[in-house]
Structure 1
Amino acid sequence: MMKNVFFALATTIILAACSSDSYKLSGKFDDVTTGTVYLKKITEFGIEDVDTTELVNGAFTFEGSVEHPELYLIFHGTNRVPAALFIENTNITITGSTTDMEAVEIKGSRLNNLFKKFNDDIPHIEKVEKMREEFFMAQSSGDQSTMESIMADMQVIIEEQQNYYRNFVKENSNNVVGAFLALNMAQALEVEELEEILEKLEANLSGHPYVVQLKEFLAPMQTQRAAEAALSVGNEAPVFTLSDIEGNPVSLDQYRGKYVFLDFWAAWCRPCRMENPILKRAYDRFGGDEFEIVSVSLDETTEAWKKAVEEDQLNWVLVHDPMGSVAQTYAVQSIPNTWLLDRDGNIMHKQLRGEELIEVLEELLN
């Protein structure tokens, strides 16, 4: 019985020793003995100061605790190149030279071991550096053929690196390194890929700042996707009411029974202005009981809008959306942005431009 008590007590002591709610970061530089060492953290708002200390015979120590493991940076003096490491509540050691902070050796952290493996295994790192040198040499000598060849080879390597990055994140969506890398490559991923990764990260790291940031990044993309799905061909076009050039309210559903060409444009948009002569030709030929054009101006001021209308001699339905609320409903991200609606107000075509519009109208109305 006594043995069991001692065994239980010993086990408790061992477990307490293995689990920690604080970290100790011990470092030693082999090329300097004095100077200030700065500990900083990468946040969504930029680089944040955490702590500073002075070197004593080249050694330094930082102590504290973290709620979540995150990526930190260590700078020495005025050196602008830092050592990057994940800090978790454990004992971590750093050794190396201030002249090559990216190559310092970090021990005592499983996350940093994983992060190092990720960086070490990125394909073609040395080859890319050599290709950059060759590109700049070709550029300085005006060797266009070599430049194009290098750029083509580089594109293949970039795609291979992106696939490596993507696969690493998917295989490590249960840890902080994977979360950090997912956040950094989020713009290169499709919504569905991000959703899959985020689901796994939330199951393992719910509440971690990287996961929260990734979720915030994904939210508008999901909203955009839902808006685009609602605006698929065959769906009813969203109805809106805007003021015309005389200030009178105009509703899109006033034109049910006609084919409607909906055109988002602005006076400052050169491609939009270049389309206006084609729209005039289409309206002169087809406008009337069966066809209408509704041009939605995104100009901020009525002056610019009216001036462009007069210059281009536009004579169809002209309305103003200065706040962009209707454009947002239609998920407009660039202009010109066009939609052809059928007689029932349903979407038939999107992004008809130039002579293609004339050809479609000929089929519909002749």
Structure 2
Amino acid sequence: MRSLIFIVLIVLWILPSCGERENFEIKGKVKGIDSAIVYLGTKKYESQYGINPMDSTVLRKGKFEFKGSVKIPQRRYIKIEKQVGSIPLFIENSEITIKTNQDKYPDAEIKGSKTQTKYERYIAKKEQYNDTIQRIDKAIQKAIKNDNQTKANNLQKKYFGALHTKFKYIEDYMLSDAPSVLRLFVYDRARVLFQYNILDSLYTSLDSSVYRTDMAKNLKKRIENLEKVQPGKSYINLTLVDTAGNKVSLSDYVGENYVLLYFTYLCPHMDLLPKGFPRLHEKYHEQGLQLFGVYADTDPFYWKKTIKKNNLKWPFVSDLKGRNSIVYEKYGNVNMFFHYLIDKDGKFIGKYKSTKEIEKELKKRIGR
């Protein structure tokens, strides 16, 4: 009797796992192309023209097939030789079918991947937001063309409101109960400077199965960099040189003054001196504000030109190493899009994108 019960338990334990495939099988049909090499691979970023092949097969009589296995769902791309573009999809251990034709490739009908289906739903909703944004943008251009600036200004507010709504949708999806692989992928492809608390909540809510992926590792590194400059954290010292080659340290100025630290680099249509900073210096320097600029690029010409052109009266230092600079190592690329206020105790007060935000904080602390 006991042995019978034991056998029954074993059968019950095995049965649920019988429906779970341990491999994937991709079956493709392509009308209009009888023979070609088909590649299955990855991309580092979506706009990458080609793919990084991992496997290949031959298209015969308009059909191709791939077999393999994955531990977790993976983003992959199918590329047919001599055709423009590639078919993006999420593969998982299931039977996946792909149908397309030469005229509409790389658009394709994909079935059999639950992860892919869920991602398509996300994209469909996001495209609705994009359509709204594009529609408002066209209306703005029309208003400007008709010399109706009042209408253009009102539409501009709607435009930024629509952008905010779209980004809120992306944030909400990242923190939803959608599969970890999808939420991580949505974050990675968003190219948005999300706040520290959003990214930290995303990372801690992920399944442990994705922590070894490159996307999860990059997310963790970004969180660690963002954590360095959170309000209340001690400032990170930098020792660089001025245009004469003299060493200058941030620590030389922290303690006696409030310090406004900013980073700048060569960028099309952007001045190396943030707008409004000379006025901030003139208005608040005597009250205890010290500006400290870091030129995080390689060309000394623009560094020196900025100092001379604007008659800078505060440190503007560099090591002219660009991306290989100690600045990137210490602060991290993600933090160099912002300006920082440091208090007299050497703690970060906050990070800012505009002079208006900075001045609002200064008025609370050192005068009006």
| Rounded Cα–Cα distance in structure 2 between residues aligned with 1:126 and 1:295 | 39
The alignment's TM-score, normalised by the length of structure 2, stands at 0.63
1:115 maps to 2:116: no
Once the two structures are superposed, residues 118-174 of structure 1 have per-residue CA deviations (whole angstroms, 9 ceiling, x without a partner) of 233446269549838x92996699446487676655444333333333223322354
> In structure 1, what is the equivalent of residue 138 of structure 2?
135
- Match runs of 1:168-187 below 5 Å: 168-185=173-190, 187=192
1:191 maps to 2:192: no
**Cα–Cα, structure 1 residues 147 and 59, in superposed 2: closer, same or farther, change >3 Å?**
farther
Counterpart pick for 1:201 among 206, 222, 243: 206
> In structure 1, what is the equivalent of residue 228 of structure 2?
226
1:38 maps to 2:38: yes
**Cα–Cα, structure 1 residues 229 and 20, in superposed 2: closer, same or farther, change >3 Å?**
same
| Rounded Cα–Cα distance in structure 2 between residues aligned with 1:137 and 1:165 | 25
| Rounded Cα–Cα distance in structure 1 between residues aligned with 2:143 and 2:254 | 62
Unmatched 5+ residue regions in structure 2? Answer: none
Name the SS for the 2:82 alignment partner: coil
| Rounded Cα–Cα distance in structure 2 between residues aligned with 1:25 and 1:267 | 46
| Rounded Cα–Cα distance in structure 2 between residues aligned with 1:33 and 1:256 | 68
Contact kept, 8 Å, 1:264 with 1:327, in 2: the verdict is no
What is the Cα-based RMSD across aligned positions, in Å? 5.6
Counterpart pick for 1:333 among 316, 331, 336: 336
1:22 maps to 2:23: yes
Return the letter of the residue paired with 1:27. G
Contact kept, 8 Å, 1:26 with 1:92, in 2: the verdict is yes
Contact kept, 8 Å, 2:174 with 2:187, in 1: the verdict is yes
| Rounded Cα–Cα distance in structure 2 between residues aligned with 1:155 and 1:36 | 46
- Match runs of 1:273-288 below 5 Å: none
Q: Using the TM superposition, name which of 324-333 and 101-110 deviates more.
A: 324-333
Return the letter of the residue paired with 1:322. D
Once the two structures are superposed, residues 217-253 of structure 1 have per-residue CA deviations (whole angstroms, 9 ceiling, x without a partner) of 342443344234346xxx7x77777778887777777
The alignment-based identity, stated in percent, is 17
**Cα–Cα, structure 1 residues 148 and 61, in superposed 2: closer, same or farther, change >3 Å?**
farther
- Match runs of 1:53-202 below 5 Å: 53-101=57-105, 104-122=108-126, 124=128, 127-128=131-132, 131=135, 135=138, 142-143=145-146, 145=148, 153-185=158-190, 187-202=192-207
Unmatched 5+ residue regions in structure 1? Answer: none
> In structure 2, what is the equivalent of residue 322 of structure 1?
319
Q: Using the TM superposition, name which of 49-58 and 244-253 deviates more.
A: 244-253
Contact kept, 8 Å, 1:69 with 1:176, in 2: the verdict is yes
> In structure 2, what is the equivalent of residue 214 of structure 1?
216
Name the SS for the 1:99 alignment partner: coil
